């Protein structure tokens, strides 16, 4: 009895402890459950907020207009047979055909157009090389009848270009004349002024527009041919050189015209003088019209008594292309009488002996000695025309 009484407190304590332990466990479960429910509720609200934002963003994007680039371009309209028949096919020869002699290009546009050249030297079509005869005149061509006689029967082997002062308003030559419609758009030119070189470049540029032109001759209204066309054509086409007179003259009318402001591009040692009446091939002509380094220097510093027409080409060619230059002109000019201008030939001086003398000078041609040095001559007065026409068949053979 005493033993049972002693075990009672122990059982009571054990039951009390187990009851408390169950309560703690129950409370722990309740807390864990409540924490889980709380986390779940928070997370569910977060997901709902994200879903709403995503739906709102999609709605906003779908409401924006689509960019035009996202849409494929509309197909081109079908080409009808009528449309194709209105456009003729252009072949290479038609494409290379020079523009009309009277065009609307200014000098800058003209030089740019004329400076174009093919990188492939061989022509993909039959090309007859021509000589471009470029006349720089103040007024009428007094010797046109003589030149007509010279050109007769040689069509297709030459081209003619005439640069006159805009103030010259003479009527057009007859339609059957080789000079009809051959006047290019010109500008005012004064003797000894740099605009004379501008006119020379303008003539070259217009002549370069015809891809058949291979050799280029500058002439004046007082120039005459002293050989027939066949001889002139053969001489030029078979020549291996250009004909730009260039020499160094240590005098007031030579080196004395040089300006130190041309340094460093042009030095006194490089300064040259020569006749403005040149003859050159197509390659050099392209270089001249493309020159944007030396010619602007002459435009700026060779004015007044400098006489750019006597110095620009001789200096430019001597600096850059001296190896292919003969350093002489093909146009005879008589400076033996002195003065600022060459001698002028009158009617009484035009004889068979005089013309034969001009035709019999000695010089070098393609490395060999020849008695054909000058193909042209100047300055002849207009009153010599009738005598020249009479002597041409006998002496010049045309």
Q: What is the pLDDT of residues 198-243, one digit of tens each?
A: 999 999 999 999 999 999 999 999 999 999 999 999 999 999 999 9
| pLDDT at residue 60, as a whole number | 45
Q: What is the pLDDT of residues 281-337, one digit of tens each?
A: 999 999 999 999 999 999 999 998 999 999 999 999 999 999 999 999 999 999 888
Reported as a pLDDT band with limits 50, 70 and 90, residue 19 is low
| pLDDT at residue 76, as a whole number | 64
The whole-number average pLDDT for the span 192-202 is 95
Reported as a pLDDT band with limits 50, 70 and 90, residue 94 is confident
Q: What is the pLDDT of residues 258-274, one digit of tens each?
A: 999 999 999 999 999 99
DSSP state of 214: E
Kindly report the pTM of this predicted structure. 0.78
Q: Calculate the CA dihedral of residues 311, 314, 318, 321 and round it to 10 degrees.
A: 130
Task: Look at 36-50, 302-316, 323-337, 371-385 and tell me which has the smallest mean pLDDT.
Answer: 36-50
Structure tokens at 244: 């730009």
- Dist CA 287 CA 172 (whole Å): 33
Report whether pLDDT(361) > 70: yes
Taking the alpha carbons at both ends of the chain, their separation in whole angstroms is 173
The whole-number average pLDDT for the span 376-394 is 97
| pLDDT at residue 297, as a whole number | 98
Reported as a pLDDT band with limits 50, 70 and 90, residue 8 is very low
Q: Strand runs (DSSP E) across the chain, as ranges?
A: 130-136, 158-163, 213-220, 224-225, 279-281, 331-332, 363-365, 368-370, 376-377
| pLDDT at residue 65, as a whole number | 46
Task: Look at 16-25, 130-139, 168-177, 317-326 and tell me which has the smallest mean pLDDT.
Answer: 16-25
User: Which of the pair, 184 or 341, is modelled with greater confidence?
Assistant: 184
Which of 345, 212, 341, 230 is closest to 276 using CA atoms? 341
By residue count, the chain amounts to 398
Angle among Cα 219, 384, 379 to the nearest 5 degrees reads 35
Angle among Cα 242, 244, 246 to the nearest 5 degrees reads 130
The whole-number average pLDDT for the span 343-351 is 96
The whole-number average pLDDT for the span 6-19 is 51
Helix (H, G, I), strand (E, B) or coil at 201: helix
| pLDDT at residue 191, as a whole number | 86
Reported as a pLDDT band with limits 50, 70 and 90, residue 81 is low
| pLDDT at residue 17, as a whole number | 53
Reported as a pLDDT band with limits 50, 70 and 90, residue 159 is very high
| pLDDT at residue 356, as a whole number | 97
| pLDDT at residue 53, as a whole number | 47
């Amino acid at each position: 009895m005493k033993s049972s009484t002693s075990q009672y407190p122990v059982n009571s304590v054990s039951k009390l402890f187990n009851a408390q332990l169950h309560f703690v466990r129950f409370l722990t479960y309740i807390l864990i459950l409540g924490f889980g429910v709380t986390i779940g509720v928070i997370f569910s609200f977060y997901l709902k907020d994200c879903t709403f934002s995503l739906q709102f963003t999609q709605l906003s994007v779908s409401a924006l207009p689509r960019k035009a680039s996202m849409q494929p371009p509309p197909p081109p309209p079908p080409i009808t047979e009528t449309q194709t028949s209105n456009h003729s096919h252009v072949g290479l020869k038609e494409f290379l055909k020079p523009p009309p002699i009277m065009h609307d290009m200014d000098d800058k546009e003209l030089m740019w157009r004329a400076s174009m050249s093919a990188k492939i030297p061989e022509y993909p079509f039959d090309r007859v090389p021509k000589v471009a005869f470029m006349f720089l005149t103040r007024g009428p061509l007094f010797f046109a009848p003589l030149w007509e006689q010279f050109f007769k029967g040689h069509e297709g082997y030459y081209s003619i270009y005439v640069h006159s002062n805009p103030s010259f308003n003479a009527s057009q030559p007859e339609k059957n004349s080789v000079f009809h419609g051959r006047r290019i758009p010109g500008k005012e030119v004064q003797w000894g002024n740099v605009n004379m070189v501008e006119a020379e470049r303008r003539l070259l540029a217009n002549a370069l527009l015809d891809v058949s032109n291979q050799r280029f001759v500058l002439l004046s209204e007082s120039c005459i041919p002293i050989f027939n066309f066949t001889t002139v054509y053969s001489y030029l086409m078979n020549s291996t050189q250009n004909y730009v007179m260039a020499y160094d003259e240590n005098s007031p009318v030579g080196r004395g015209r040089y300006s130190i402001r041309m340094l460093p591009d042009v030095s006194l040692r490089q300064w040259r003088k020569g006749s403005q009446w040149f003859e050159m091939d197509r390659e050099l002509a392209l270089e001249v019209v493309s020159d944007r380094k030396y010619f602007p220097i002459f435009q700026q510093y060779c004015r007044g008594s400098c006489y750019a027409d006597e110095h620009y080409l001789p200096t430019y060619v001597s600096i850059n292309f001296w190896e292919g230059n003969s350093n002489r002109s093909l146009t005879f000019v008589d400076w033996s009488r002195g003065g600022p201008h060459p001698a002028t030939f009158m009617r009484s001086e035009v004889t068979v002996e005089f013309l034969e003398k001009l035709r019999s000078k000695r010089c070098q041609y393609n490395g060999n000695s020849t008695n054909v040095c000058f193909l042209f001559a100047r300055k002849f007065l207009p009153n010599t025309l009738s005598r020249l026409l009479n002597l041409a068949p006998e002496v010049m053979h045309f």
